[in-house]
Structure 1
Amino acid sequence: MKILLLEDELHLRNNITKYFTIKGHDVDAYENGEELLKDANPADYDCMILDINTPEIDGFEVLEYIRNNNINTPALYISALTDAQKVLRGFELGAGDYLKKPFEFVELELRMLRIASAVTETQKIKLNNFSEYDYEKRELYIDGQIQKLSVTQKRFVYILVKHKNALVSFEMLRDYVWEGKDISHSTILSTMRNLKTIFRSQNIRNVKGEGYMLEIIN
């Protein structure tokens, strides 16, 4: 799982990062909200863990900005705040949970996994008449058979399905599929051509000059 962390206290930030890295997750950690919004694309992540009282731009403002940009990545607040109105505001902004400091890392992990799984489909998603996607296992099925995909192709399919019926920009693809590497535009086009051949479908739409959209009618 790819996690976006906002925590201004250095020791806690490092310990959370270390814990989740050992658990096999990828963590990008930021000290303040301004840096996070400048350098990270929240749409590329599976979950966000946000402190509230952070420098420059606080956790409330960060989530408000993210939700106003139609990014629905699940979010969990961690904070020493006990004010009920402030906690309520976090939920109103679209947070899935709140954990009061201090806490055990195992509890943070369980809550994070719960809110992340709450927004993913536990059943196979029908992509078209002959293809399905298992979101939990991240496996593509064509005519009921699991497709052998490269790591790059698996990431490409995942981010398309995660943002189904919404634009997946070229920037998002570079950030998530190629982990920010400086790959050429032709590499993206070539990868998409191969995927379209596998899908045998026209429901992956090119958005000229911007990216792609996987169109699924539920």
Structure 2
Amino acid sequence: MALSILLLEDDEDLGETLAQLLQMEGYAVTWVKRGNDVIDLTFDKKYDLYIFDIGVPDIDGLDLLEALRDAEDETPAIFISARIDIASIMRGFETGAYDYIKKPFFPEELLVRIRAKFQSKEALVECHGLQYDPARKMAFKEGRPVALGEVQQALLHLFITNVGRVVDKSDLMECLHNPSDAALRVAINKLKQTTGLPIRNIRGLGYMLETC
């Protein structure tokens, strides 16, 4: 049976593009443009996935998902939004979404995120109290996303995917915008402070994340 998706997007062009793309991938898509339409539809039908824009008529997408969660609706949800401030992103995850895509984005990116959720068999990696999703390259602590910058995220992915092995300094340098020994030390110390991960300097070779 096709995955049933409820898409909330008030932008005519984007909504039509996403609906057509998802249908071409074999998903059963219901596209609506107002928050109240979601409330009406979810009263009578169960969906497999919600894709919500935030700034839509009637009811804010964040408030909408929060109301659904309060009604014990645990349907997986993705936010797509032009809001890129950290407060909106954090609230999106706190409200119960599993992903947040910032506009503008390539429509195909949405397909990748959906596949990562429903088709990937790659589970979360548990490591020293941190949960890491390799498919989405996102870290969580106690179910809450850990805010990481681009450099920290790239370093974390290298360490998590090479646990117990020394990561060569040259590979780590590629994660930096302005590579230098000092910049690498600062970036790794910041990553350790943010995540609490035990990353050790292996003199003359590189760095290693101790076995989980």
1:64 — aligned with what?
66
> What is the letter of the counterpart of residue 115 of structure 1?
K
Contact 1:17/1:29 (8 A) holds in 2 = yes
Equivalent residues in 2 for 1:67-82, closer than 5 Å: 67-82=69-84
Post-superposition shift, 1:117?
5.1
Q: What is the aligned-residue identity percentage?
A: 37
Q: Is the 8 A contact 1:74 1:116 kept in 2?
A: no
CA offsets per residue over residues 25-67 of structure 1, 9 Å max, x none? 1001110111110233486111111101001111011101110
- Hey, what does 1:99 align to over in structure 2? 101
How many aligned residue pairs are there? 120
Q: State the Cα distance separating 1:116 from its structure 2 match.
A: 3.7
With structure 1 as the length reference, what TM-score do the two structures score?
0.51
What's the offset of the Cα at 1:104?
1.3
TM-score computed with the length of structure 2 as normaliser: 0.53
Larger Rg: 2
RMSD of Structure 2 on Structure 1 (CA): 2.1
Indicate if the aligned counterparts of 1:46 and 1:116 stay in contact, CA closer than 8 A.
no
User: 2:30 maps to what in 1?
Assistant: 28
Q: Which runs of 5+ in 1 are unaligned?
A: 122-218
Q: Which residue of 2 aligns with 1:55?
A: 57
Distance 1:61 1:38, change over 3 A: same
Q: Is the 8 A contact 1:97 1:115 kept in 2?
A: no
| Kept after mapping to 2: 8 A contact 1:91/1:97 | yes
Structure 2: how far apart are the matches of 1:29 and 1:110?
Answer: 19
From the superposition, tell whether residues 42 and 2 of structure 1 become closer, same or farther in structure 2 (CA, over 3 Å): farther
- Whether the 8 Å contact between 1:74 and 1:96 is mirrored in structure 2 is yes
